[in-house]
Amino acid sequence: MARVASSSSSSWSSSALHALAGRVAPFQSAPRSLDLSRTPLRRWGRVGGLRSLAAGANPMRWIPPLRRSEDVKVETDAARNSSSDSAGPAQKSEFPEFPNRNFSRQVAVASTIAAVSLFLSSRLEFGVSLKDLAVNAIPYEVALSNGMPTVVEFYADWCEVCRELAPDVYKIEEQYKGRVNFVMLNVDNTKWEQELDEFGVEGIPHFAFLDRNGNEEGNVVGKLPKKFLQENVAALANGEPSIPHARVVGQFSSAEARKVHQVADPRSHG
């Protein structure tokens, strides 16, 4: 058995060598300048190469040479940097930076100021009442003795026109505070009967404009545009000899209705 095996092995090797010699012979005349690094023999080794040649592999098929690890590393780093650069703007746009605390504090302060301003403006437009004007008014006796021009308003709590004009009157008072006296006299108060007759009050609201000496320059009665009242007050504050609107009458409430609402309150100047 050993001889048979040896003989078959020797026979196989001889046949393989003959086949190899038959295939390699045509290439023995290749020039010496042949680049063996581009042939399969460089990577196959002795045993694997011989067997592949014996099996009929094409020895001229080109297999790219191995690349150095340094080249692979450089290309990998370059690809990584390129991918990070391309993904950078998308990540920044997808995740914007949050504002810092100072910015948030500024926004909160600005919002608070805006809310307060809105509240005050709404207060001026809708929240001012005749009671507010009466509380802030200067007593009539004081106004006649402090040497400043005076605006006297005759009003009543039940007067619809008086309530409508209250916001405009308040704005003008705030504008000329300290330069012009603003007096509120309630026609329902029997204390002011003499003043009602003196100024000839028949309708309310009735605005009487007095100079620094207490002399009447003119009057405006009823609901009129704001400019009539404002221009008269400006003339008094500037010390002009006359007012532009000395006698103007608009929609008003009759003062005769005061007889139903009269009260005796000598302690009140309103």
CB 223 within 8 A of CB 251: yes
The verdict on whether 163 is a catalytic residue reads: no
DSSP 108-168: HHHHHHHHHHHHHHHIIIII--HHHHHHHPPPHHHHTTSSS-EEEEEE-TT-HHHHHHHHH
Cis amide leading into 205 (omega within 30): yes
Name every residue whose Cβ is closer than 8 Å to that of residue 228 and which is 6 or more positions away in sequence: 220, 245, 248
The verdict on whether 228 is a catalytic residue reads: no
Question: Which is catalytic among the residues 151, 162, 234, 235?
Answer: 162
Output the CA–CA distances (angstroms, integers) from residue 47 to 5, 50, 58, in the order listed.
Answer: 20, 5, 16
Amino acid residing at 93: S
Question: Which is catalytic among the residues 133, 148, 152, 159?
Answer: 159
List residues with catalytic annotation: 159, 162
